[in-house]
A and B are shown apart, each in its own frame.
Chain A
Amino acid sequence: MADAVAVTSQIRKRKSVGQPLPQIDSAEKVKGLTQYLQDLSVPGMLYGAIVRSAIPHGLIREIDTSRAERLSGVRAVITARDCPGVLFGPQEPQDWEILCRNKVRYIGDEVAAVAAISPDVAKEAAALVRVEYQELPAVYDPFEALKPGAPVLWEQHPDNVAYRFHIERGDLEAGFARADDVFEHDFYTGRFYHGQMEPMGCIVQYHADGGYTIWTPTHLPFRSRMTYSKGLGVSMDKIRIVVPPFGGSFGMKYELNINCIAALLSKKSRRPVKIFFEREEDIGAGHPRMGLHFHYRLGVTRDGRFVAKEARVVGTGGARTFWTPPVLSTACYRIDSLYHFQNVRTEGFLVYTNQSPATCFRGFGNAEALTALETFIDEIGERTGIDPVELRRMNGVKAGDVSLHGWRIASCGLRECLDRAESVSGFRNRKPPPKIPPRRGVVRGIGLAAGHHISGNRIIINEYDGASAQVRLGFDGQVAVIVGEPDIGQGMNTVFAQIAAEVLDVDPASVRSLPIDTLVSPHGVGTLGSRGTTVAGRAVQLAAEDARTKLVSLAAELLGVPPQEIRLQSGSAVVASGGGSLSMAELGREYATRYGGAFLIGHGHFTPPTEIPDATKYGNLSTSYVFGTHVAEVEVDTETGATRVVRYWALHDSGTIINPSTATGQVHGGVAQGIASALLEEVLVKDGRVTNPNFLDYRIPGFQDIPEMYVEFVETKDPYGPFGAKSIGESSLNPTAAAVCNAIYNAVGVRVHQTPVTPERLWKLLETARTEARKKE
């Protein structure tokens, strides 16, 4: 276990790409100098607080803001009357209001807001706003909400279905007719909170031209302007977004209504306004990963071929729509690019319920689908007597395959991951599970799960896909990378620096990545859909190549040799045959001298081989595809049901690894979150109220909960990403929960159908199994 990082590719003659370099901005971070949003203030800044609904569902009868307005130190109070009144939002259906007009739909719904000279005064004022409601019956369970006669959240959606997904390919009935066995499986993945260490927040300043500057750590600074511009009723170019360093997000900080609330407070008070959540608000009124119910029917032939799959997926979306529609779609059909199911039909329902709106989380629905599917495959293996790893090999996609829905898999290391996982973990020699769960003692078990993900996903902005970048040479010879995709804490800037450094042969530690500001940065679709390294990284590579061409021709001219004679080497341009060289600083200054003080800038843009899916949802959705296999070993206390992961192996195909150290860190973090989702964490909601909205009751894993892990990269050659690199951030998490659940089965012989597998839940399953066994005796 000790030597946990191995890159199985042969050593290449590369200087930067493939090196385990430190994150370029971590020196600032370890000194406490990094200024996160929490640390930022703007002169004259006020503090905002939100008045939230105290009831899960009801009509607003009256809002009395007079006492709040009279409180000393209050500078603005706003209600729906101050809002433009359009429905808007990041996805269809658009159902955001900024502040509720007629109706509240969850405990925490935003009814009014205040801005004051301190956070304490703002809080006090918010508490003075009186809201009278006429309560309505509420509904929390998505299956209840789907029944006729259930309380209706939005009259435009009388069936409470916010979004419906349907896909069909092949001939399902014929597929099932060919099957020798048909298996069924249900799984529920619980509501899970991002737990990013820095809560959500923003600072917004209103400008005389009617526009706004928003300081907020967002994955999609450019795209989110579309949402805010509609909500605020100003053109997109009047919204400037500046992205400070992230204190974590994992999907939480995509697009948030608080930006609009702070904007209107700033407009009314004519002062910049900061809204920054306390943890309780971040959990209680925040936007977790939604709960998802899966029902699968799978037809399998005697020799283990999958021939038909029918699925029904139901998501508990909450009261409004954030990024849940594409999460639901993903949960419905992305797995069809991991295995060939041949004939499929999937129905998905995103259901309105009286809870805070859910949004996306790392893994984007695919982690949840894989939890359901990979536990199912484990069970099918058991029931057919075919080794479950063999089932995966037999049905899994290969390089060159086109999936049922037209997704083109250019590179695929699934089999290599499965093989290596089996051999490094000892999974092949596992003991069979006990027939009856033991009555006492701690037992061990081992479980395996495969997974995959996209790498550079399309349909974030409909019209186009891709990324653009600039690589700029300063007068001191320093290289700067300028992109529109923010580093979300995972080390993106370092990866960009290594890519540019490789192309230009400069020291990667000297390369900077400029902060993102939509006023000046090149356009970027965003850091989501596992597109950072693959798509933006490729644009950086192309921009660096353009800069290299310019540098070489300048150097050739200055040194009086043809361009073919010039090599970029260790920070200089040298004549290959000897006799002259110029440093980057000399070249930067010379360029400026010739061109009116201009910087030498290389431009690059990358248009990936993705397609807009047709009406049947056919079309290649991602630049590349990544694969992995995880093995978990657990210890289960059979008397209490308490489960701990004690050993862990993670094998990944993420193409060429640009930085093995940060990539390994991504795996460690993804697995830790996966273990949390499998065993520990769930946002508990009773009668619409979150009952564990703090880190005492919502326990995220600590040092003692996460084992040491073995991480290995099985490098494949991908034609699209920079130097053949693919993504790792999301795929690192995807197989984890299934591997843990399968290990629990191997330990105690009981199948779980719900995460998190809390001690109480597992203990009940163990007791049931033991009682049944006793009855049979």
Chain B
Amino acid sequence: MRIRIDLNGREVEADTVPHRSLASFLRNELGLTGTKLSCEVGECGSCTVLLDGRPVTSCLVPVAQADGRSVQTIEGLGINTQMHPLQEAFVGQNAVQCGFCIPGMIMAAKALLDRKPDASSEDVRLILSGNLCRCTGYQKIVEAVVIAAREVQRNG
């Protein structure tokens, strides 16, 4: 089937098989490998992207479901060398170790801040609880998201 999505603000049209997962479509057909695959059963959040602004585990979403909608991936965050406040804060706080969970983590955090710009550390722990990280023990991720929230709020 032919699908059309608004990908990171740009119109993309492609032929694909409808049952293919959105994650696989992004990675294998569009070459956007920033979205990671880890469990492929919707349990880890590594593959989180935003579908019409809402976080989804793209390993479970059939690409057909994205037809005619907007998809945001980690590649769409920040402009060129300029980073999104979340990316800045993740770097600054060393909330990144191996980094494999991080694209999904940041996309989930973006959805949180879009909805709740004054997110507290309790909010982060609750709302990101579907995203797993094996390296960091989460504390620095919580700190980074809270710092980014302040930054986002300050800049309106």
Give Cα distance in the complex from A279 to B36, angstroms. 13
* B114 CB → nearest A CB, Å: 18
- Asked if A197 and B87 make an inter-chain contact with CB atoms under 8 angstroms apart, the answer reads no
B22-51, CB under 8 A of A: which get 1 and which 0? 000001000011111111110110100000
Supposing A32-B35, A669-B137, A704-B129 touch, asked if A694 and B77 sit within 8 A by C-beta, the answer is no
Interface residue count on the A side (C-beta < 8 Å) = 56
Are B73 and A662 closer than 8 Å at their CB atoms? no
Asked if residues A199 and B129 are in contact (CB atoms below 8 Å), the reply is no
Which residue of B38, B131, B134 contacts A673 across the interface (Cβ within 8 Å)?
B134
- Residues of chain B within 8 A (CB-CB) of A704 are 125-126, 129
- Note all chain B residues with C-beta closer than 8 A to A27: 83, 87, 91
B91 touches A706 (CB 8 A): no
CB B91 to nearest CB in A, in angstroms, measures 5
B94 touches A661 (CB 8 A): yes
Q: How far is the CA of A708 from the CA of B140 in the complex (A)?
A: 10
Task: Identify the closest chain A residue to B144 (Cβ).
Answer: A30
* 8 A Cβ contacts from B71-123 to A: 73-75, 77-78, 83, 86-87, 90-94, 96-103, 106
With A197-B38, A665-B97 known as contacts, the answer to whether A31 contacts B78 (CB < 8 A) is yes
Q: A245 within 8 Å of B by Cβ?
A: yes
Q: Give bound CA distance, A671 to B91, whole Å.
A: 22
Query: Would A665 and B91 count as touching, CB distance under 8 A?
Result: no
A4 at the interface (CB under 8 A from B): yes
Q: At the interface, yes or no: B14 with Cβ under 8 Å from chain A?
A: no
Among B44, B126, B130, B134, residue most surrounded by chain A Cβ atoms (within 10 Å): B134
| Docked-complex contact A668 and B92, CB < 8 angstroms | no
Contacts of B91 in A (CB 8 A): 22-23, 26-27, 30
Q: Are A195 and B134 in contact (CB under 8 A)?
A: yes
A605-640 contacts to B, CB under 8 A, are: none
Binds B, one of A246-254, A313-321, A587-595: A246-254
- Interface size class on chain B is 35 or more
Our pick among A198, A199, A246, A665 for the contact of B140 (Cβ within 8 Å) is A665
Interface check A33, CB cutoff 8 A: yes
Whether B74 pairs with A662 at a CB distance below 8 angstroms is no
The contact string, 1 if C-beta is below 8 Å from chain B, for chain A 653-675, is 00000000110110111111100
Is A703 in contact with B129, judged by CB distance below 8 angstroms?
A: yes
Q: Do residues B36 and A31 form an inter-chain contact, with CB atoms below 8 A?
A: no
B147 at the interface (CB under 8 A from A): no
Contact: A38 with B37, CB < 8 Å? yes
State whether B137 touches A706 (Cβ < 8 A): yes
A44 on the interface (CB 8 Å rule)?
Answer: no
Expressed in whole angstroms, the minimum distance between the Cβ of B45 and any Cβ of chain A is 9
Contact A696 B129 (CB under 8 A): no
Cα of A25 to Cα of B96 in the assembled complex, Å: 9
Residues B138 and A31 in contact, CB atoms below 8 Å apart = no
Alpha-carbon gap, A665 to B41, bound state (A): 28
A599 to chain B, nearest CB (A): 27
**Residues of A contacting B133 with CB < 8 Å?**
197
Please tell me if the beta carbons of A246 and B138 are within 8 angstroms of each other in the complex.
no
In the bound assembly, the distance between CA atoms of A39 and B46 in angstroms comes to 14
Most chain A beta-carbon contacts within 10 A, residue among B35, B75, B102, B138:
B138
Q: Decide: A694 and B38 in contact? CB cutoff 8 A.
A: no
Within 8 A of B (CB), among A401-432: none
* B5, CB-defined interface residue at 8 Å: no
A36 interface contact, C-beta 8 A: yes
Contact of B134 among A23, A30, A196, A662 (CB under 8 A): A196
Q: Is A435 an interface residue (CB 8 A)?
A: no
Per-residue CB contact flags for chain A residues 12-42 toward chain B (1 = under 8 Å, else 0) read 0000000010110111111111111011000
Residues 136-153 (chain B) with a chain A CB within 8 angstroms:
136-142
Residues in A669-711 with C-beta less than 8 Å from chain B: 669-673, 694-696, 700, 702-704, 706, 708-709
B138 near A706 with CB under 8 A, answer yes
CB distance from A740 to the nearest CB of B (A): 14
Among B36, B94, B126: residue with most chain A CB under 10 A: B94
Contact between B139 and A197, CB atoms less than 8 A apart: no
- The reply to whether B96 and A248 form a contact with Cβ atoms under 8 Å apart is no
How far apart sit A31 and B97, CA to CA, in the bound complex (Å)?
Answer: 14
A491 to B91, CA, bound (A): 12
Cβ B97 vs Cβ A30 within 8 A: no
Bound: A331/B84 CA distance, A: 46
B102 touches A29 (CB 8 A): yes
B61 part of interface (Cβ distance < 8 Å): no
Q: Does A478 contact B (CB under 8 A)?
A: no
CA distance A247 to B39 in the complex (A): 13
A569 and B62 CA atoms in complex are apart in Å by 57
Q: Tell me the nearest residue of chain B to A246, going by C-beta.
A: B98
Picked from B43, B128, B129, the residue with its CB within 8 Å of the CB of A694 is: B43
B135 within 8 Å of A (CB atoms):
yes
Q: What residues on A are CB-neighbors of B97 within 8 Å?
A: 23, 489-491, 665, 669
A382 interface contact, C-beta 8 A: no
In the assembled complex, B60 has its CB within 8 A of some CB on chain A? no
A31 to B39, CA, bound (A): 21
Within 8 Å of chain B (Cβ to Cβ): is A278? Answer: yes
Name the one of A29, A33, A696 contacting B96, with C-beta atoms under 8 angstroms.
A29
B7 within 8 Å of A (CB atoms): no
- Inter-chain CA distance A30–B106, complex, in Å, is 8
Known contacts A31-B34, A197-B98, A704-B129: A696-B135 contact under CB 8 Å: no
Contact A26 B139 (CB under 8 A): no
Which of A31, A248, A491 has the largest count of B CB atoms less than 10 A from its CB? A31
Contacts of A673 in B (CB 8 A): 134
Tell whether A695 pairs with B83 under 8 Å between CB atoms, given A197-B132, A246-B98, A662-B94.
no
Known: A198-B98, A198-B100, A703-B142. A672 touches B137 (CB 8 A): yes
**Interface flag for B124 (CB, 8 Å):** yes
Residues on A with C-beta less than 8 A from B36 are: 36, 38, 197-198, 247
CA distance A30 to B103 in the complex (A): 6
- Assembled-state Cα–Cα distance A703/B100 (Å): 16
B77 CB contacts on chain A under 8 angstroms: 31
Q: How far is the CB of A36 from chain B (nearest CB, A)?
A: 6
Contacts of A668 in B (CB 8 A): 136-140
Residue in A22, A278, A670, A671 with the greatest tally of chain B CB atoms within 10 Å: A22
> B residues within 8 A CB of A669?
97, 134-137
Closest chain A CB from B100 CB (angstroms): 3
A693 to B75, CA, bound (A): 31
Report how far A38 CA is from B23 CA in the complex, Å.
13
Alpha-carbon gap, A703 to B133, bound state (A) = 9
Contacts of A194 in B (CB 8 A): 134
The residues of A that contact B93 with a CB separation of less than 8 Å are 661
CB pair B33 A39 closer than 8 Å? yes
**Taking CB as reference atom, which chain B residue is nearest A40?**
B33
Given A26-B90, A668-B136, are A703 and B128 also a contact pair (CB < 8 Å)?
A: yes
The 5 tightest CB contacts between A and B, nearest first, are A32-B34, A489-B98, A29-B99, A668-B137, A32-B74
What are 18 sample pairs from A and B whose C-beta atoms fall under 8 A apart? Answer: A26-B91, A30-B83, A30-B99, A196-B98, A197-B100, A198-B36, A248-B98, A278-B40, A489-B98, A490-B97, A490-B98, A669-B136, A671-B137, A672-B138, A695-B132, A696-B43, A702-B138, A703-B131
Interface residues of B (CB under 8 A from A): 27, 32-41, 43-44, 46, 73-75, 77-78, 83, 86-87, 90-94, 96-103, 106, 124-126, 128-142
Known contacts A668-B139, A695-B132, A702-B132; 6 additional CB pairs below 8 A are: A27-B87, A29-B96, A32-B32, A250-B134, A489-B135, A706-B138
